[in-house]
Amino acid sequence: MASQEPVNPSHAVFDLFIQAQSCKDVKHHFVELCSELDINPKDFRTFYTKLKERLNYWKAKALWTKLDKRASHEDYQQGKVCSKNKCLVLGAGPCGLRTAIELTLLGAQVVVVEKREDFSRNNVLHLWPFTIYDLRGLGAKKFYGKFCSGSLDHISIRQLQLILLKVSLLLGVEVHTGVEYQGLIEPSGENGWMAKLQPRSHPAAAFQFDVFISAGGGRFVPDGFKHKELRGKLAIGITANFINGNTAAEAQVAEISGVARIYNQKFFQELLTETGIDLENIVYYKDDTHYFVMTAKKKSLLKKGVIKQDYADAEQLLAPANVDHEALCRYARDAAFFSTGGKLSDLEFAQNHAGEPDVAVFDFTCMHRAENASLVRERRGQKLLMGLVGDCLVEPFWPLGTGIARGFLAAFDAAWMVRRWGKGVPHLKVLAERESIYQLLSQTTPDNTSKNYAQCSIDPKTRYQSVNLSSIQAHQVQHLYDVDKSY
């Protein structure tokens, strides 16, 4: 009889943690792992070191090698540069988590609060080469074997969140799900800056911090920040996810990385003639699902009965009551079928978080962008550095696939700002530098950012081809410093 190898329970739990496919499972197996190894995750300063010492497992070692390489970068000064800082991060979307990882590497105590309990977005994000390189460096492939294999350059939002959640936890970030941020509480008595959270009695409500990073997603504007509206011509986006059965036939179907209308008029004309569907563009990625994102013309949506009644106002036009869901499903399915040459013959919708066909319509007519990326507030002599990252800084137009790359650039820029703060640089200088860098963000492309990916770090000079950290001067950001002068 073949002898069974004795299984070390902590190794088995580690495997479960690595493979976990939902936020709840990740957290559950993480707690189990900590208990198996008798490590308190609240001891953030020693957590990762103890984990490495106590989990003597070859699979874990390959991951430690990657994380150690990252952590040894000179920017972090061995985790000492921000060892006195405490950071609250709002939102466990990809940008909140990516920022949290950098802040913990800088040595700060980092707490993330996320109002949702689970990660459910099937939609797929396009990754620029530097983001792929960055995520590989964090061990993405260990958590998700299919990560960007071959020429793939995309990942579903939920997979990306799972990877980043696992890395965050391993490095000592505290992540609380099911906790909603409702505002800041100003210092009083013995207490410093705190957050009003729901549930109110949640332990994270007692956390006092000197850095607040908001990564609350599109249109989330924390108190003190202003958004600019960039109103363009009417742009109606549709996303659809179909089940990927991973068959050989499905594997043969070519992806569409962005068929812009001006480049492929013939395709769009044929689509219109044969189906009555009129699109500006369409993107198809084969990922955990078959994912499509397209921009559709209003006239064809009205004609096909997707939009019931015409309104000049985009919000009214796309209000749920004015959209026929079944017609929308047909529209998206037909567009997907036609654009893949009929090769995806069995297009069955994947389910969304509500257990319904994963198809949705979005309004991109009016995009938002924050006027500033940073602020400093001072109350009762206690300063709070505030920064925005991700979609709440600049809302992306999804078909262009710029969102997550610019989101990560901003996450690194925010981490650099916190590094400067941690080093004691005067607050107006910190703000002026951050705003100088922010000016570059919306113009970034894979071509005008550094291609020396191995050198890319949170230092803006390693990522932007030409960056002038003093293009905005301290005296120009006085308005971003909000102090209670009477105190």
Give the interface with ligand FAD as residue ranges (CB under 6 A). 90-96, 113-116, 121, 123, 125, 157, 180-181, 215-217, 220, 239, 293, 390-391, 396, 398, 403-404, 407
What single DSSP character describes residue 367? E
Q: Report, in Å, the least distance between residue 216 CB and ligand FAD.
A: 4
Nearer to ligand FAD, 34 or 127 (CB): 127
What single DSSP character describes residue 77? G
Place of tokens 């820029």: 413
Residue 451, phi-psi category: left (phi > 0), alpha (psi -120 to 50), beta (remainder)? alpha
Distance CA 118, CA 20 (A): 12
Q: Which amino acid is at 374?
A: S
Q: Report, in Å, the least distance between residue 381 CB and ligand FAD.
A: 28
| φ, ψ dihedrals at 183, nearest 5° | 145, 175
Q: Report, in Å, the least distance between residue 408 CB and ligand FAD.
A: 9
Q: Report, in Å, the least distance between residue 53 CB and ligand FAD.
A: 33
Residue 140's alpha-carbon distances to 70, 99, 143, in angstroms, are 13, 16, 5
Nearer to ligand FAD, 47 or 285 (CB): 285
Nearer to ligand FAD, 250 or 391 (CB): 391
Written as six digits, the tokens of 413 are 């820029």
Q: How many CB atoms are closer than 10 A to CB 393? A: 29
| φ, ψ dihedrals at 435, nearest 5° | -70, -30
Place of tokens 């958004």: 227
Written as six digits, the tokens of 382 are 């206690």
Q: Report, in Å, the least distance between residue 175 CB and ligand FAD.
A: 11
Q: Report, in Å, the least distance between residue 402 CB and ligand FAD.
A: 8
Written as six digits, the tokens of 202 are 């949640």
- Asked if 477 contacts 431 with a C-beta cutoff of 8 angstroms, the reply is yes
Distance CA 325, CA 331 (A): 10
Nearer to ligand FAD, 10 or 295 (CB): 295
Distance CA 282, CA 313 (A): 24
Nearer to ligand FAD, 81 or 359 (CB): 359
Distance CA 244, CA 32 (A): 32
Nearer to ligand FAD, 223 or 346 (CB): 223
Q: Report, in Å, the least distance between residue 404 CB and ligand FAD.
A: 5
Q: Report, in Å, the least distance between residue 255 CB and ligand FAD.
A: 14
Nearer to ligand FAD, 55 or 282 (CB): 282
Distance CA 325, CA 310 (A): 16
Nearer to ligand FAD, 216 or 460 (CB): 216
